[in-house]
Structure 1
Amino acid sequence: MTQPGGWSRGGPSPVSMSPSNSPLHINELNLPKTCEIDFSDQDDLLHFRLLICPDEGFYKGGKFVFSFKVGQGYPHDPPKVKCETMVYHPNIDLEGNVCLNILREDWKPVLTINSIIYGLQYLFLVSTAGVQAPVGIRGGYQEVFGGD
């Protein structure tokens, strides 16, 4: 169902522009109820935004926007995903870079956009207590919070 502002809420995506021709398998998207997707430019399905609104856990009630840029190498290369919302999270640095293994070394061509969406949603649901931030992200937290 398309929401005001172009966002589509959970369930199969209602994108009307020949999703069967898209390498993204848009017609197979099955969004969690806490996610909405926005294809602002119906002629460019390779650039879109995802809104995640966790309904439980520490980030409950938050709204987090991610931008997706799918390159010509997809599905052999993962899409570029950035968090556009400033958030203090052990897997998201201050520039919005996301630390999710399936976006880097664990990417496989059999993975889909749906896999990434569920992976991003999972980041906001798991308990991060006692989790140490990846080395590349620690500097930003030290700068903001001090300490190690």
Structure 2
Amino acid sequence: VEGKDSLRSSRTNLDICKGEHTMATSSGAPPAGPSRPRVPTPAKDTKPKPTKNNSTSARRLQRELAELTLDPPPNVSAGPKGDNLYEWVSTILGPKGTVYEGGVFFLDISFSTDYPFKPPKLVFKTRIYHCNINSQGHICLDVLKDQWSPALTISKVLLSVTSLLADCNPHDPLVGSIAQQYLSNREEHDKMARQWTKRFAT
């Protein structure tokens, strides 16, 4: 009797499992296979749509590029890398009569889509011995920080950088040791700056 009851119970459980399986597939959908992650369907156009912000910055940059090409600041050239209007490269010739004379200094310039309401980012790619420019090429210059104004242009900024090479500001340094040397031992400072210019910028 116990054997018959066990057999009957097993059949009942089997029928229940069959019923559950039937309910799960009775909607007309095929039985689920191995679960796979659902891959989102790519959008037809993945390019960012133009907005008022970046169209304004693009027009401004195109205008500045045209002006810079026609009337560049002394010893300065600049322009986009390829067809990317927001990434530029610039060269600055070391001003005559300074410790950077004879050097050619390369900079990367990055503009955000908020330009000209946010300043561009300038980074020296050529090493330079200067108290306002650190080893990563970052520049301590007021017009790139709190003195930035949308009325400024990249041409004026590059002119300010050139002026900084001719006349550093040791009282607002990015490299304190070089600023201290400039103030306390100008002769040694100038010697080091000329050596770096000859080594890295010529």
Q: Taking structure 1 as the reference length, what is the TM-score of the superposition?
A: 0.70
User: In the alignment, which residue of structure 2 is the partner of 1:87?
Assistant: 128
User: In the alignment, which residue of structure 2 is the partner of 1:51?
Assistant: 91
Pair member with larger Rg:
2
Structure 1 residue 40: deviation in Å?
A: 2.6
Structure 1 residue 107: deviation in Å?
A: 0.2
Q: Does the CA-based 8 Å contact 1:91-1:133 persist in structure 2?
A: no
4+ residue runs over 6 A deviation = none
Structure 1 residue 39: deviation in Å?
A: 2.5
- Which stretches in structure 1 are left out of the alignment for 5+ residues? 1-20
Tell me the secondary structure at the aligned position of residue 102 of structure 2: coil
User: In the alignment, which residue of structure 1 is the partner of 2:170?
Assistant: 132
Range with bigger deviation, 23-32 or 74-83: 23-32
Alignment of 1:87-106 (within 5 A): 87-106=128-147
CA offsets 1:65-110 (integer angstroms, 9 cap, x no match): 1110000111110001111111110110111110110000000111
Q: Hey, what's the Cα distance between the residues in 2 that align with 1:108 and 1:40?
A: 25
If each structure's strand is expressed as a fraction of its own residues, which one has the higher value? 1
Percent identity for Structure 1 against Structure 2 = 26
Q: Hey, what's the Cα distance between the residues in 2 that align with 1:113 and 1:38?
A: 10
Q: Hey, what's the Cα distance between the residues in 2 that align with 1:108 and 1:66?
A: 21
Q: Does the CA-based 8 Å contact 1:90-1:133 persist in structure 2?
A: no
User: In the alignment, which residue of structure 2 is the partner of 1:4?
Assistant: none
Tell me the secondary structure at the aligned position of residue 32 of structure 1: coil
In 2 relative to 1, CA 55–119 (structure 1 residues): closer, same or farther, beyond 3 Å?
closer
Tell me the secondary structure at the aligned position of residue 84 of structure 2: coil
Code of the residue aligned with 2:135 in structure 1: it is: L
Code of the residue aligned with 1:23 in structure 2: it is: R
If each structure's helix is expressed as a fraction of its own residues, which one has the higher value? 2
Q: Does the CA-based 8 Å contact 2:127-2:137 persist in structure 1?
A: yes
Q: Does the CA-based 8 Å contact 2:65-2:79 persist in structure 1?
A: no
Q: Hey, what's the Cα distance between the residues in 2 that align with 1:63 and 1:86?
A: 10
Code of the residue aligned with 2:59 in structure 1: it is: S
Q: Taking structure 2 as the reference length, what is the TM-score of the superposition?
A: 0.53
Residue of structure 2 aligned with 1:120, choices 144, 161, 169:
161
- Which stretches in structure 2 are left out of the alignment for 5+ residues? 1-57, 185-202
Q: Hey, what's the Cα distance between the residues in 2 that align with 1:134 and 1:53?
A: 24
User: In the alignment, which residue of structure 1 is the partner of 2:65?
Assistant: 26
Q: How many residues align?
A: 118
